Amino acid sequence: MNRKNLLDQLAKDHTLPFDGFVELLAHPDEGLQAHAASLAVETTQQYYGNKVFSRGLIEFTNICQNNCYYCGIRAGNENVQRYRLTDEQILQCAATGYQLGFRTFVLQGGEDPYYTDDKICRLVQQLKHNHPDCAITLSIGEKSRESYERFRQAGAERYLLRHETATPAHYHRLHPPSLSAENRYACLHTLKELGFQTGAGFMVGSPGQTPEDLARDLLFLHKLQPEMVGIGPFIPAAGTPFAQEPAGTLNETLFLLSLIRLLLPDVLLPATTALGTIDPRGREKGILAGANVVMPNLSPKSVRKKYQLYDNKICTGEEAAECIVCLTKRIESVGRELAVDRGDNVRYVKMKEDHYCV
């Protein structure tokens, strides 16, 4: 089958055999990417219309016990000035975000042992108390089933944990032996079982990644059926073992965004900061390839430069309000509008309506 027909089949069936994905990924060309993007945008509009959703990101700690080889805030990077936001600062970020129109907050941090389950639950409860109409997303790494259960009971409804790569051997190229691919995948399945709206994802162009690895990532996503998928280009970070590796490319990331949209038509798919970092119009181009979420930073300006997962990260000098103005303009420049609501996955909304929950 020719590659254009493979894309049409993907748009219709929402999956392809492994070889079909490899064929697409190993021989991308401009025409193919344009066709994928146009199918992807059409699909996004069918499910979410013109809306692009926003999530307010609060990077509350850059302290991490892990040593992922790609990550700028890995434990072994001694050049990082470490910080933790106080509870008051976190609640203040959310209050400011609320005034700016955000109805969903993402608490993201390194795997910082200071934040016990009790502390996280208290924070989630306080956020829910202050902003009952908001969704709380956690992105704090691998935890036990019991911890995830407690977070869910405290009121967290969403959890982001990128699987990073669905190929165990590639996982072990990117992480030290203390981290296991199996545990990563098990965490994601647990999150789904506990009823979290779950986000998986991976970096595009990470060292050693092959088209076969990416095909396995897509099949992994198909099997997991996450409500959200975060992808962005790998970007080298100073002070890491991968500091000299080449970055992933804009075009390959855009192509994967389109493929993921066709694979999971109702998925919430961010145009990530990493995409905006490798190209000045990367996020706009992401939206034109099938993304429908942006995640502006609500962290205090004083700490932003310290949360450098990779070099040259954008938006580290801006206030939250400035980012929202900037993003609104960017989204409007591609004919879309920024939505001010929780931006639930449509599958989840339907489920809630069916069950008469609030």
Q: Which residues contact ligand FES by CB under 6 A?
A: 296, 315, 318, 322-323, 326-327
* Pattern 84-123, ligand 5AD, x by CB under 6 A: ----------------------------------------
Q: Is 175 near ligand 5AD (CB under 6 A)?
A: no
State the CB neighbour count (10 A cutoff) for residue 346: 15
* Pattern 116-155, ligand 5AD, x by CB under 6 A: ----------------------------------------
Q: Which residue has the tokens 């956690």?
A: 138
Q: Is 162 near ligand 5AD (CB under 6 A)?
A: yes
In the complex, the smallest distance separating the C-beta of residue 206 from ligand 5AD, rounded to whole angstroms, is 8
Q: Which is nearer to ligand 5AD, 54 or 139 (by Cβ)? A: 139
Strand 293-294 with 228-233, pairing? unpaired
What is the b/e burial string over 4-42, where b = at least 16 CB atoms within 10 angstroms of the residue's CB?
eebbebbbeeebbeeebbbbbbeebeeebbebbbbbbbe
Among candidate residues 285, 217, 202, the one with its CA nearest the CA of residue 250 = 285
In the complex, the smallest distance separating the C-beta of residue 61 from ligand FES, rounded to whole angstroms, is 21
Out of ligand 5AD, ligand FES, none, which partner does residue 55 contact, by CB within 5 to 8 A per kind?
A: none
Q: Is 309 near ligand 5AD (CB under 6 A)?
A: yes
In the complex, the smallest distance separating the C-beta of residue 6 from ligand FES, rounded to whole angstroms, is 35
Out of ligand 5AD, ligand FES, none, which partner does residue 85 contact, by CB within 5 to 8 A per kind?
A: none
- Interface with ligand 5AD (CB under 6 A), residue from 16, 40, 71, 263: 71
Q: Which stretch binds ligand 5AD (CB under 6 A): 18-26, 64-72, 114-122, 297-305?
A: 64-72
Q: Is 200 near ligand 5AD (CB under 6 A)?
A: no
* Pattern 227-246, ligand 5AD, x by CB under 6 A: -----x-xx-x---------
Spatial distance between the Cα atoms of 81 and 75, rounded to a whole number of angstroms: 11
Instruction: Tell me which residues in 327-356 interact with ligand 5AD (CB under 6 A).
Output: none
Out of ligand 5AD, ligand FES, none, which partner does residue 315 contact, by CB within 5 to 8 A per kind?
A: ligand FES
The residues that touch ligand 5AD, with contacts defined as CB under 6 A, are 70-72, 162, 164, 203, 232, 234-235, 237, 274, 309-310
